[in-house]
Amino acid sequence: MMRKLSLLFAGALMGASAMSLVYGAPGSSANAAGSETYKQLAIFGDIFERVRAQYVTPPDDKSLVENAINGMLSSLDPHSSYMNAEQAQDMRVQTKGEFGGLGIEVTMENDLVKVITPIDDTPAAKAGVLAGDYIAKIDGEEVRGLTLNDAVEKMRGLVNTPIKLTILRQGADKPIELTVVRDIIKVKAVKFRVENDIGYMKITSFTEKTYDDLENAIDTIKKQVPDDKLKGYVLDLRLNPGGLLDQAVSVSDAFLKRGEIVSTRGRDPKDVTRFDAKPKQTDDINGKPMIVLVNGGSASASEIVAGALQDLRRVTVVGTQSFGKGSVQTIIPLGENGALRLTTALYYTPSGKSIQGKGITPDIKVDQPLPPELQGRDLTRGESDLKGHIKGADESATGSGSAAYVPPDPKDDLQLIFAEKLLRGEKTDPAFPPNPEKAVLNQ
């Protein structure tokens, strides 16, 4: 049975998120606690000591404290959490977009690590690892019994250190032994290609490299297709879990000439931050038509982009209801290199609407049927389904989210096919092209 989880060797991106990073000295001031609060803390201390002294097996003190902290934070909302030193380091690696590893995208199938694809010009590709290979042993240790995260952790490591992989390959009469030397792997946050007369760009996550990768994609597409032949662009944000807030703002800015992109509002009514596009004569794609694709896997930072471009009537959004995560997490450094991920604000689209628990509603709804092997399974993803989520101002009984599935083969991708037909004029819809004069702005 195949587990539908895919990881780069940076680890899975930290879930649906729009994050701002806070650097500086650990710790910050807080309102003084009342006497009742200190009484409750004394009870906690008493329970902690009794567990340590009387529990049937000696507990690990560090785990007890970390779980207590996470229990407190998870009671706030699903996105606030404590990260120990190792988890915080993983988060920093993921947002940086580069790491020491082999350069393969993997999943777990039949208790083995299956290679989805080796990344071009990486140690794995140079050593001869192929798509479809099964990794049975890592440095002589059986993969069976390991989780995917455990296997990934073993394959990551210091640059210039070797690792031996035992590979099972279809057609090979015996296991293949390969030695791969780890190197710096730079994960492409934007994948792109030319579909005859259309530029296709898929943003997989919002890391520190996303905007630069996007600009490279746009420049390459422009060189491959003459301006008079280029019908437009498809920006694919499906299955994009989010990432860095500043990168979402930069990506949105690339397609706008002016206007508000997003605003964030904190606990204090006066704590409002607004992000605007830089005024310019034309956008980075010279005003060409563009369609944005979303589904239930489009969350947070990707919803910021879709919401801004939709409200300003720069694009037509096609697909199904997005995830609906409209909160911002601030990463606050703590002692011993741990960190606190704390929800500190909600974000609002240029129209002044919160998508928390609601999501982005596409201008044109196009469902993507599930293949026979997935039918009957619930692949719907949405913030409104998460226990303890912050209820959004515009959230309704309908909730947010939809199926989070994209076919691996573009010829089966009905949402992409529909978008390309719109751009080529083979299909028509009142929502395309959008009219910038009808931009919906917060008054």
Instruction: Transcribe 306-320 into DSSP letters.
Output: HHHHHHTTSSEEEES
Please calculate the CA angle 15-18-20 and round it to the nearest 5 degrees. 120
User: Taking a C-beta distance cutoff of 8 angstroms, is the pair 318, 292 a contact?
Assistant: yes
Q: Exposed/middle/buried for 215, CB within 10 Å: 0-12, 13-18, 19+?
A: middle
User: Is 311 known to be catalytic?
Assistant: yes
The neighbouring-strand residues paired with 166 are 137, 177
List strand residue ranges (DSSP E) for 169-212, in order. Answer: 176-181, 183-186, 190-195, 198-203
Element (H or E) spanning 244, and its range? strand 242-244
118, β-bridge pairs: 104
Q: Strand runs (DSSP E) across 266-348, as ranges?
A: 272-276, 290-294, 316-319, 327-333, 339-348
Q: How far is CA 411 from CA 193, 406, 408, in A?
A: 15, 11, 9
- Known active-site residue 325: yes
**Across the strands, what pairs with 181?**
162
The residue annotated as part of the active site, out of 90, 213, 311, 363, is: 311
Do residues 324 and 357 make contact, with C-beta atoms less than 8 angstroms apart? yes
H/E stretch holding 137: strand 134-138
308 and 284 Cβ atoms separated by less than 8 Å: no
User: How far, rounded to the nearest angstrom, does the alpha carbon of residue 152 sit from its chain's CA centroid?
Assistant: 18
Omega of the bond prior to 433 within 30 degrees of 0, cis?
yes
Beta-strand pair 364-365/316-319: parallel
Query: 356 vs 89, 95, 316, 434, CA distance in Å?
Result: 28, 23, 21, 25
What is the CB neighbour count within 10 angstroms for residue 53? 8
- The contacts of residue 50 (CB under 8 Å, 6+ apart) are none
- AA letter at 264: T
Asked if 395 and 356 touch (Cβ cutoff 8 Å), the reply is yes
For 103, the token pair is: 């350069």
Token pair in block for residue 235: 């920006």
Q: Which of 325, 358, 402, 413 is catalytic?
A: 325
Q: Classify residue 259 by its DSSP letter.
A: S
Catalytic residue among 252, 300, 302, 384: 300
Active site amino acids:
300, 311, 325
